[in-house]
């Protein structure tokens, strides 16, 4: 009997170790909603309940919280004049070949700095294959676009200009178009000290403007810094689920609500006409097939439709998809390259959240949306 007890205890311990390694808490304490409210609104994240993290996430983990403002790089410091110039260029359709499309055509502040479409219209009404990402808080990212093809905001600024499907313009002609507008000379002099118009200065000005697009005063931000009554009981429950049983925190962490990494969330649409391997097209690494950059969840309530392909029309669709834990796609009788079959991230697991919990999670996500200022387009130089 003594030995059987030893084996039983050993077995239980080994099982607990395995579950712990998988990120499953064996002794998660139970809290009332009022206790959770007091902990999360204490202004001290060290008092928060422990998050449900996988071992890989624990390395360098930063929790969600109040977002500050982005910093500006030493090579492109902030100035008000540069921001004003960048904002004007952002709205100017003369940056494009057709003279009809501007950056704001796909990144409209009235539409959450996106365009509200599944995929965007570009030059000659061509459509791209990915959803236009919001520019909210873009200054906090380390990689840009869904696939991470740009590594600085300055570099990012001219990718759409040159894309044949988007603005279809050469950088040489873009520079010439802006240089031909006399009023811009004054703006470039104010921003850079002289009137020279160059591609590099256009990039720097647009990037400076884009870093000013910040959302950091949501109800969530105010709640976690002491305004304990700003979230409903349901929203508090959703916040706790987000960090624990729903496991969202494993990818959507840091005050940005993004880990700035690439993950395969099972949406490569392998073998379909919309197949997209994401970051793999840049890295060439097998493990990056179907991996896309983790988007921030700030302002997620107004940045739909969702996912890189824009196929999820409601936020509830997204929540329910992840609750299913990356269900196997419908098998189609098509010829596919098996060597490139995407392997979804192990972070994805069936969650078994009930309808009430899903509703609470969705309610919390909407606390990240603010009534941000939606600026009117600026007057464009040389256009009456």
Residues tagged in the binding site annotation for heme c: 103, 106-107, 123, 248, 251-252
Residues in the annotated binding site = 103, 106-107, 123, 248, 251-252
d(CA 346, CA 258): 17
* Cα distance between residue 321 and residue 334, in whole Å: 24
Task: Report the C-alpha gap between 9 and 173 in whole angstroms.
Answer: 74
Residue 330, number of CB atoms within 10 A of its CB: 7
Question: Can you tell me the distance from the alpha carbon of 122 to that of 107, in angstroms, rounded to the nearest whole number?
Answer: 12
103 close to 115: Cβ distance less than 8 angstroms:
no
CA–CA separation, 82 and 86 (whole Å): 6
The region, left, alpha or beta by phi > 0 then psi within -120 to 50, assigned to residue 330 is beta
SS3 content of the chain, % helix, strand, coil (to 5): 40, 5, 55
How buried is 368 (Cβ within 10 angstroms: 0-12 exposed, 13-18 middle, 19+ buried)?
buried
Does residue 76 contact residue 208 with C-beta atoms inside 8 Å?
yes
In order of 56, 106, 139, 231, 337, the CA distances from 215 in angstroms are 29, 19, 11, 18, 42
């Amino acid at each position: 009997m003594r030995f059987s007890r030893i084996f039983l205890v050993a077995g239980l311990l080994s099982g607990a170790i395995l579950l712990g390694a998988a990120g499953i808490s064996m002794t998660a304490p139970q809290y009332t909603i009022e206790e959770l409210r007091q902990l999360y609104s204490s202004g001290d994240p060290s008092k928060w309940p422990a998050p449900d993290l996988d071992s890989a996430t624990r390395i360098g983990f930063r929790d969600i919280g109040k977002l500050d403002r982005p910093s500006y790089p030493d090579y492109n410091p902030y100035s008000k004049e540069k921001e004003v110039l960048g904002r004007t260029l952002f709205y100017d359709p003369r940056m494009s070949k057709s003279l009809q499309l501007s950056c704001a055509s796909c990144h409209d502040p009235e539409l959450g700095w996106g365009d509200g479409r599944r995929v965007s219209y570009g030059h000659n009404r061509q459509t791209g294959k990915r959803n236009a990402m919001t520019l909210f808080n873009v200054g906090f990212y380390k990689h840009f676009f869904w696939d991470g093809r740009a590594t600085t905001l300055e570099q990012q600024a001219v990718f759409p200009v040159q894309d044949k499907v988007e603005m279809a313009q050469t950088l040489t002609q873009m520079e010439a178009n802006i240089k031909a507008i006399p009023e811009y000379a004054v703006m470039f002099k104010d921003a850079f000290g002289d009137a020279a118009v160059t591609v590099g200065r256009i990039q720097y000005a647009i990037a400076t403007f884009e870093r000013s697009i910040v959302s950091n005063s949501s109800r969530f931000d105010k709640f976690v810094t002491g305004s304990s009554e700003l979230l409903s009981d349901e929203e508090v429950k959703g916040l706790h689920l987000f960090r624990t049983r729903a496991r969202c925190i494993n990818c959507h962490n840091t005050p940005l609500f993004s880990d700035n990494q690439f993950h395969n969330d099972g949406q490569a649409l392998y073998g379909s006409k919309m197949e997209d391997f994401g970051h793999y097209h840049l890295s060439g690494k097998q493990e990056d097939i179907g991996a896309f950059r983790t988007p921030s969840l700030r302002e997620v309530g107004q940045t739909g439709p969702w996912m890189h392909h824009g196929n999820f029309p409601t936020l509830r669709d997204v929540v329910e998809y992840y609750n299913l834990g990356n269900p196997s796609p419908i098998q189609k009788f098509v010829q596919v390259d098996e060597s490139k079959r995407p392997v979804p991230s192990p972070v994805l697991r069936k969650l078994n959240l009930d309808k009430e919990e899903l509703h609470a999670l969705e309610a919390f996500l909407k606390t990240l949306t603010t009534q941000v200022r939606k600026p009117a387009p600026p007057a464009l130089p040389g256009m009456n």
